Amino acid sequence: MNELKEKAKELLQNGTVKVIIGFAQGTIPNRTKPFIVRSVEDAEKLVFNKYCVNNLAMYLTRKEFKRNGVVGIVAKGCDVKAIVQLIQENQVKKDDVYIIGMNCSGVVSELGEEFNESTVATKCLHCMVHTPHLHHTLLGSLEETPKREDKNFVLMQKIDSMTAEERFDFWEAEFERCVKCYACRQACPMCYCEKCIADKSIPRWIESSAHTRGNFAWNMIRAFHLAGRCVGCNECERACPAEIPLSLLNRKMGMTANKEFDYIPGMNLNTPTLVGTYDVNDREDFIK
């Protein structure tokens, strides 16, 4: 881990960046936490391992960090996907971010657990960016990613085969636990609206009540807003205290975007965004 600390110190000392967003050790061994480095002493506390789960890209759109000029960020491949998408959506300037890319062969799914083949995160099973596809410097080495059955996908197929009524019942039961803490939104790098539609109260579009209607309204609108934009970091699902399987929604939307438009968010800086593009050749057969 020394190369990360040294690189961070070098960047701070030569003035490339004033601040680096990285990870530090958490309360227990198998846990890390986001950590803001402003000095060489801080840089000593940086860590990177299998327990660096957070997608730190969500901090890039915060006003406090935008004020700092070029911001350094410790990023895994999946975090870089978010950074690329943010640049494409004009939320972050390409020249305002210095990416310390980390080779990553997988992270743990649930913080606190030991990393092994049964606890490797679902997103890592199909990862295409173990080596970050955009970076200013690249650190770390790759090992083999543990393999396990993708239970999430099995469940997706099961939901696909349900009738509309069964699907409604499934989601009604899942959403019932929602407490409207909005941790899903807050942890999401793509949820950067200055004022979220759920916070608009004059008039109120999304009921703040955590009952069936309010919970459906919130979770559906969030899923729609992420269609073709979600990079699949799965931070929303991890942050959810009620353990609602939000990845099922986001993954389904992502797969649909890929199938219909051959588009994967966050992969290529030069591809226009899916929802920000109009093409006269776009299919219109869904308008009836």
Partner 1 sequence: MEEKLISKVNLKMLVADLIKANHIVVGQDEKAVGWKRLSHTDEIVVNSNGVPSNLSYKEFLFAKTEPIFYFRNNKDNYDLIEPANVAASPNLDEQKIVILGAKPCDAPSIEIMSHVFNWDYKDKFFNEKAERSIVIGLACHYQDEFCFCTSVGLNPTSEAGSDLFLVPLDDKNFAIKIVSDKGKEFVQPFIQYMSEGNPKATSEVLDKIKLQERKFEQAKVREWIAPNFEHKIFDKVGETCLGCGQCAFACPVCHCFDIVDEECNYTCGRRMKNWDACQFGLFTIHGSGHNPRDTQGKRYRQRIAHKFKYYQDKFGKTLCTGCGRCSRGCPVGIDIAQVVREINLVANQV
* Contact with partner 1 (CB under 8 A) among 79, 129, 189, 235: 235
Taking the C-alpha atoms of residue 201 and residue 176, their distance in angstroms, rounded to an integer, is 23
Taking the C-alpha atoms of residue 135 and residue 102, their distance in angstroms, rounded to an integer, is 9
Range in contact with partner 1 (rule: CB under 8 A) among 2-10, 54-62, 82-90, 124-132: 54-62
# residues near partner 1 by CB under 8 A: 39
* Contact with partner 1 (CB under 8 A) among 118, 208, 268, 277: 208
Q: Is 28 in the site for partner 1 (CB under 8 A)?
A: yes
**Interface residues for partner 1 in 248-287 (CB under 8 A)?**
none
Q: Is 109 in the site for partner 1 (CB under 8 A)?
A: no
Question: ∠ CA 52-105-127 to the nearest 5 degrees?
Answer: 100
Three-state secondary-structure class, residue 43: helix
Would you give the binding string for partner 1 spanning residues 150-189, x where CB under 8 A is met? ---------------------------x-xxxxx-xxx--
Both structure tokens of 269:
């800086």
DSSP for 121-150, please give it. -HHHHT-S-SS-SS-SEEE----PPP----
Both structure tokens of 284:
């219109």
Catalog residues that contact partner 1 under the rule CB under 8 A: 26-28, 31-36, 54, 58-59, 64, 111-112, 177, 179-183, 185-187, 199, 201, 204, 207-211, 214, 235, 238-239, 241-243
